[in-house]
């Protein structure tokens, strides 16, 4: 197959839906993931490849398929893992994908980065625009790796302008089946937050992420865009919508608790991760709507209502 679309991380949360959307749009798709896809879950007309984005053999694989566009979704999605392994996947893996794109003559690379690349800081602008400095925290590997990836992408834009890039910085992505560290906060009997902060969540629906990615592939429009729905929801508002009590703890108390639980092996999170709740990046989506031309279908309240309805139906 030549001239089609290759998706890394194709077996993931967003990847599966994007592969379906691309196939339905008539694209020839190569779905690549380190996890093999069971035969009964494979879609007719899609080519499936089981491969590691960190493997140097990726260059030969790209060369066989010679896609016109690569959508790079493969990344580490959970904080608190092994920093060296996570760096190898996020940073090393992205560099390998870039090298493979260049070797195969790929014309367009679409990448999902993260709003975490801005970092979690008390003095973050509210909201954050694409021109604000990326300050992914050094002591928070997930945010640091996203910043390093974006610095690498910016360097490649300068040195290899023939490879068009579309880079999205999603905020918290919620869909009907989302289950991660964020939704774990919502699932507890009491929603725990921090005193002294509203903890505003920028939210975007998984369906809006897929639609924006599909538009990027089909329109071939480059640039860097925050990917978020309109408005925000505070953690207190989320607790109210869930009908659960809200317990704001002093940051020092939560840091001490995480230090203890980490030492006991109860959690991989440590005191440094408190900033993940304390200083949530609020993303401005003006450029997404005005320059890229995509208006998310759901605002923050709509994203959460959709997620909550699915949870209730599941119960």
Q: Give per-residue pLDDT as tens, 150-170.
A: 999 999 999 999 999 999 999
CB 110 within 8 A of CB 71: yes
> Is a pLDDT exceeding 90 seen at residue 102?
yes
pLDDT number for residue 79: 65
The two counts, helices (H) then strands (E), for the chain are 12, 13
pLDDT confidence tier of residue 1, bands split at 50, 70 and 90? very low
> Is a pLDDT exceeding 70 seen at residue 139?
yes
Pairing mode of beta strands 69-72, 108-112: parallel
Residues 305 and 204: their CA atoms lie apart, in Å, by 12
The Cβ of residue 107 has, within 10 Å, a number of other Cβ atoms equal to: 14
Q: Where is pLDDT greater, at 199 or 111?
A: 111
Residues 66 and 14: their CA atoms lie apart, in Å, by 23
CB 7 within 8 A of CB 73: yes
Residues 267 and 185: their CA atoms lie apart, in Å, by 14
Pairing mode of beta strands 191-194, 108-112: unpaired
Q: Where is pLDDT greater, at 277 or 299?
A: 299
Sequence-distant (≥ 6) Cβ neighbours of residue 130 within 8 angstroms: 169, 224, 225, 226, 284, 287
Residues 92 and 87: their CA atoms lie apart, in Å, by 7
Residues 184 and 182: their CA atoms lie apart, in Å, by 5
Residues 172 and 227: their CA atoms lie apart, in Å, by 9
CB 34 within 8 A of CB 8: no
Q: Give mean pLDDT, residues 221-237.
A: 97
Residue with tokens 């993260």, as numbered in its chain: 114
Residues 227 and 73: their CA atoms lie apart, in Å, by 14
Specify whether 294 is catalytic. no
CB 191 within 8 A of CB 238: yes
CB 134 within 8 A of CB 117: yes
Residue with tokens 């992420």, as numbered in its chain: 209
Sequence-distant (≥ 6) Cβ neighbours of residue 314 within 8 angstroms: none
Q: Give mean pLDDT, residues 72-94.
A: 90
Average per-residue pLDDT in the chain? 94
State pLDDT tens for residues 244-298. Answer: 999 999 999 988 988 888 888 877 778 888 888 899 999 999 999 999 999 999 9
pLDDT number for residue 177: 85
Q: What DSSP state is assigned to residue 128? A: B
Catalytic residue among 48, 120, 142, 279: 142
């Amino acid at each position: 197959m030549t001239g089609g679309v290759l998706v890394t991380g194709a077996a993931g949360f967003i990847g599966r839906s994007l592969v379906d959307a691309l196939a339905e749009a008539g694209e020839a798709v190569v779905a690549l993931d380190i996890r093999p896809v069971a035969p009964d879950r494979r879609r007719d007309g899609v080519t499936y490849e089981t491969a590691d984005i960190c493997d140097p053999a990726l260059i030969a694989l790209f060369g066989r398929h010679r896609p016109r566009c690569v959508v790079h979704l493969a990344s580490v999605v959970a904080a608190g893992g092994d920093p060296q392994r996570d760096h190898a996947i996020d940073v090393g893996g992205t560099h390998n994908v870039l090298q493979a794109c260049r070797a195969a003559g790929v014309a367009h690379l679409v990448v999902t980065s993260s709003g975490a690349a801005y970092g979690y800081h008390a003095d973050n602008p509210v909201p954050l625009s694409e021109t604000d400095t990326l300050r992914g925290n050094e002591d928070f590997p997930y945010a640091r790796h996203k910043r390093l990836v974006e610095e690498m992408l910016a360097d490649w834009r300068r040195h290899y302008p023939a490879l068009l890039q579309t880079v999205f910085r999603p905020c918290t992505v919620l869909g009907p089946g989302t289950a991660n560290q964020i939704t774990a906060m919502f699932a507890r009997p009491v929603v725990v937050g921090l005193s002294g902060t509203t903890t505003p969540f920028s939210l975007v629906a998984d369906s809006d992420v897929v639609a924006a990615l599909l538009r990027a592939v089909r329109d071939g429009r480059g640039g860097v865009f925050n990917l978020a729905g309109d408005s925000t929801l505070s953690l207190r508002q989320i607790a109210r919508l869930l009908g659960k009590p809200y317990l704001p703890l002093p940051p020092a108390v939560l840091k001490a608790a995480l230090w203890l639980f980490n030492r006991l092996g109860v959690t991989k999170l440590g005191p440094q991760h408190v900033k993940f709740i304390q200083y949530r990046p609020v993303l401005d989506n003006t450029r997404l709507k005005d320059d890229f031309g995509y208006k998310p279908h759901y605002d923050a309240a709509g994203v959460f209502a959709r997620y909550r309805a699915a949870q209730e139906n599941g119960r």
